Amino acid sequence: MNELSVDRKDDGVVLITLNRPDLRNAMTDTMTAEWRATMTDLASDRDARCLVVTGAGTAFSSGGDLSWIGERGAEPVPRLRERMLAFYRTWLMITELEIPTVAAVNGPAVGAGLCVALACDLVYAADDAKLLAPFTSLGLHPGMAATYLLPRRAPALAREMLLTGRTVSGAEAADKGLVNQSFPKNDLMSEVAGIAAKIAQNAPIATRLTKVALNQDHQDLEAALRWESLAQPVTMASADMMEGLAAHRERRMPKFTGS
């Protein structure tokens, strides 16, 4: 059984499902290797327009599979550091994709699993999903860039979650800005599918460049203008812009090709 399920749809939406429901989709070594290979493939997939990540069964992900710590005994800090950096960097390869990424948090998202969800461009959760970062209650310092990803979205809530380890529902996470929006559990995937389809309908070149701009965190207005004065002419020279204008004029849906 593959520990990742990858479903490529005709409209360019790619659905990845973390597929170890028996382990609440813990991030095992096998799943990690499959994730690395999938992210590598997607980086060069010109047909992909949007990525959705969710979990099989009742959980999004219970986080890193740390059973090896007890099994292997103590390892020296340098070796542990190398192991953890490789693990973090593999899962955070999702941040390097040019296409928009969407997390559908269908159930508990714990620790590193929550961080992978928050590493996506857009995050939607079931109202009753449980989001938590219980690192310190386990005697661990936060990992998977938790001290960056959580405060970037909701600084005050992030401090509380990381220092107390308390659980936040999807509805509260949406109310406090940790996720974009929450939906009733039974509606989550259909709502996210609609959002992903809308993203996939838009012009690929313009969408990718817009994501690059949003991730640059422009230092000031002038920096944004300098970027846009380079990126917008690129789209002006594309066939997709001509198609977009024609479709608008003819009152029809555009058919963008990414050229």
Q: Which pLDDT tens digit goes with each residue over 96-106? A: 999 999 999 99
Average pLDDT over residues 30-53: 97
**Taking residues 72-90, what's their average pLDDT?**
86
Four-way CATH pick for 4-200: 3.40.50.300, 3.10.20.600, 3.90.226.10, 3.30.465.10:
3.90.226.10
User: Can you tell me whether residue 113 is helix, strand or coil?
Assistant: helix
Q: Which has the closest alpha carbon to 83: 96, 97, 66, 95?
A: 66
Q: Give me the pLDDT at residue 68, please.
A: 67
Mean pLDDT of 22-30: 96
Query: Which stretches of 149-248 are assigned E, i.e. beta strand?
Result: 168-169, 181-183
For the chain, the average pLDDT equals: 95
The separation between CA 79 and the C-alpha centre of its own chain, rounded to angstroms, equals 28
Residue 254 has, within 13 A of its CA and on its CB side, a CA count of 21
Q: How far apart are the first and last CA of the chain?
A: 38
pLDDT of residue 70: 58
Per-residue confidence (pLDDT) for residue 206, from 0 to 100: 97
pLDDT at position 69: 65
Domain with CATH 3.90.226.10 in the chain: 4-200
pTM of the predicted protein model:
0.95
Backbone angles phi, psi at 129, to 5 degrees: -60, 145
Strand order in the sheet with 50-55: 4-8, 13-18, 50-55, 101-105, 122-126, 181-183
